[in-house]
């Protein structure tokens, strides 16, 4: 029976006759759905947020990586549709889970979205389906949670249905790579599941990288993000040490990166943001406790990066005191950039939100300007900031602030005009020096 089920599904995938379901139409799910549809599959997107369905029905993309034209092309071709009705999963031959995997307030993994989604799939599971998890998680999640929930139906992985894992590798704002051109790591529960994973993703992306197990693929994703977290923490720590010595860490990095081997540049900032690096490393630290093994590097990196917003506000307060003779508690500060990285609208885990919170905890007043984020949406941790709107960046408005704190160096900002109008600038991104706009009132932090 296993061979027959496998052969039938493989043929459907190879002939593009398989219908694909993508659960979760966010930063990962929607670009993936459109890439898969563009490769010739019929795709149904599933999401519990009706506002997303309204936008998609109007052929309006809410994700920068998917243009309105690309979305409309797949809808008009009949290759993409979206729904909130999960009963449609029964008609899907390949089902891909792209739901959030956040942390609890105690920094433990929150797999409630993965578990709830797996239970929804189980209600409609049938023989001849491939179920794939793409959400970042700790090694063992696919086999120990997703597979177990699905096998609770009485159907068996590797015989009746197949299970795989392929970590998402989206990079919002990256102009050089997109979903179809980023190499895709794939794994499966058994050789047949892996063969199906290779066939399916090989049809949609340019390069497939198979690994031996789902746990290995889960570890690949964590390793990629832990690597970045640890190295960013290193340069953040060097920034504080070198600043105390009167040394510019950015100048150090620029010189160090001229070495053609043995060095890779990473850059400091006001803290970590985004959907991966601030969260994913803690999935491994949590899982490692099961094996009674310490993860000192990972946890220390998290501590250093988490401390950066408070360090930056400390530098802001110091500069206000020395250069303006004014306490932070009596100052108005404009935070430039709410998104966690330049040229995107993504504010997930953005350190700018924490910067605003700390400034106001210390009695100051903080506004923000961001050309990509008109209003602060609801967030789990910063409910008090909901509804605040981006301030205009006119010379008169800038001059009314005691300081401008550059948290995100968006390209759409006129930094020369900002330098002329601002009384004091705290630059956490070295943008003014990069643009040749260094001045006495621009302080690096």
Q: Are strands 80-83 and 94-97 parallel, antiparallel or unpaired?
A: unpaired
The DSSP 8-state label assigned to residue 143 in this structure reads: I
185 and 276 belong to one structural domain: no
DSSP H or E stretch at residue 444:
strand 442-444
Tell me if 225 is assigned to some domain: no
The closest of 305, 356, 289, 281 to 107, measured between CA atoms, is: 281
304 and 167 belong to one structural domain: no
70 and 170 belong to one structural domain: yes
pLDDT(2) > 60: no
- What is the C-alpha to C-alpha distance for residues 52 and 83, in angstroms, rounded to an integer? 9
pLDDT digits (tens, 9 = 90+) for 229-287: 999 999 999 999 999 999 999 999 999 999 999 999 999 999 988 767 778 788 888 89
Count of structural domains, the chain: 2
200 and 257 belong to one structural domain: no
198 and 298 belong to one structural domain: no
pLDDT digits (tens, 9 = 90+) for 331-373: 999 999 999 999 999 998 899 999 999 999 999 999 999 999 9
Query: Is 442:420 a contact under the CB 8 Å cutoff?
Result: no
Q: Which residues form the domain of 89?
A: 2-215
Phi, psi for residue 129 in degrees, rounded to 5:
-115, 150
Active site residues: 276
Overall residue count recorded for the chain in this entry? 445
- What is the C-alpha to C-alpha distance for residues 36 and 42, in angstroms, rounded to an integer? 8
**Average pLDDT rounded to a whole number, residues 387-413:** 97
- What is the C-alpha to C-alpha distance for residues 114 and 142, in angstroms, rounded to an integer? 10
Tell me if 222 is assigned to some domain: no
- Give the Å distances, CA to CA, from 424 to 265, 318, 442: 29, 12, 6
Residue 43 sits in a domain whose CATH number is 3.40.50.720
Query: Is 383:409 a contact under the CB 8 Å cutoff?
Result: no
Domain boundary among 192, 215, 238: 215
**Average pLDDT rounded to a whole number, residues 186-195:** 98
Tell me if 416 is assigned to some domain: yes
333 and 392 belong to one structural domain: yes
34 and 76 belong to one structural domain: yes
């Amino acid at each position: 029976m296993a061979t027959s089920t496998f052969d039938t599904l493989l043929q459907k995938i190879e002939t593009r006759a398989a219908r694909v379901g993508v659960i979760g139409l966010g930063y990962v799910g929607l670009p993936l759905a459109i890439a898969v549809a563009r490769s010739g599959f019929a795709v149904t997107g599933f999401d519990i947020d009706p506002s997303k369905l309204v936008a998609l029905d109007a052929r309006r993309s809410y994700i920068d990586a998917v243009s309105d034209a690309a979305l409309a092309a797949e809808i008009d071709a009949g290759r993409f549709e979206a729904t909130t009705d999960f009963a449609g999963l029964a008609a899907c031959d390949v089902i891909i889970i792209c739901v959030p995997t956040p942390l609890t307030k105690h920094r433990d993994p929150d797999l409630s979205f993965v578990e709830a989604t797996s239970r929804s799939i189980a209600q409609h599971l049938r023989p001849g389906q491939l179920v794939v998890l793409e959400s970042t998680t700790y090694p063992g999640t696919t086999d120990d949670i997703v597979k177990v929930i699905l096998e609770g139906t009485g159907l068996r992985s590797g015989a009746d249905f197949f299970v795989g894992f392929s970590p998402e590798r989206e990079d919002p704002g990256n102009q050089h790579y997109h979903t179809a051109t980023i190499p895709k790591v794939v794994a499966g529960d058994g050789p047949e599941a892996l063969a199906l994973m290779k066939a399916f993703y090989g049809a949609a992306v340019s390069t497939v990288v198979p690994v031996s197990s789902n746990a290995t693929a889960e570890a690949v994703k964590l390793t990629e993000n832990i690597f970045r977290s640890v190295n960013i923490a290193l340069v953040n720590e060097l920034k504080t040490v070198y600043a105390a010595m009167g040394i510019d860490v950015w100048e150090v990095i620029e010189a160090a990166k001229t070495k053609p081997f043995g060095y890779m540049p990473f850059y400091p900032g006001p803290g970590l943001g985004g959907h991966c690096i601030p969260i994913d490393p803690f999935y491994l630290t949590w899982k490692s406790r099961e094996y009674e093994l310490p993860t000192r590097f990972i946890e220390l990196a998290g501590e250093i990066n988490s401390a950066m917003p408070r360090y930056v506000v400390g530098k802001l307060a110091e500069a206000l005191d020395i250069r303006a003779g004014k306490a932070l508690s009596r100052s108005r500060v404009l935070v430039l950039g709410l998104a966690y990285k330049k040229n995107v609208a993504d504010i997930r885990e953005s350190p700018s939100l924490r910067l605003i919170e700390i400034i106001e905890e210390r009695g100051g007043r903080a506004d923000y300007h961001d050309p990509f984020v008109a209003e602060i949406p609801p967030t789990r941790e910063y409910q008090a900031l909901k509804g605040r709107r981006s301030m205009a960046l006119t010379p008169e408005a800038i001059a009314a602030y005691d300081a401008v704190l550059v948290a995100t160096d968006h390209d759409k900002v006129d930094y020369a005009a900002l330098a002329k109008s601002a009384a004091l600038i705290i630059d956490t991104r070295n943008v003014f020096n990069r643009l040749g706009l260094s001045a006495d009132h621009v302080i690096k932090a």
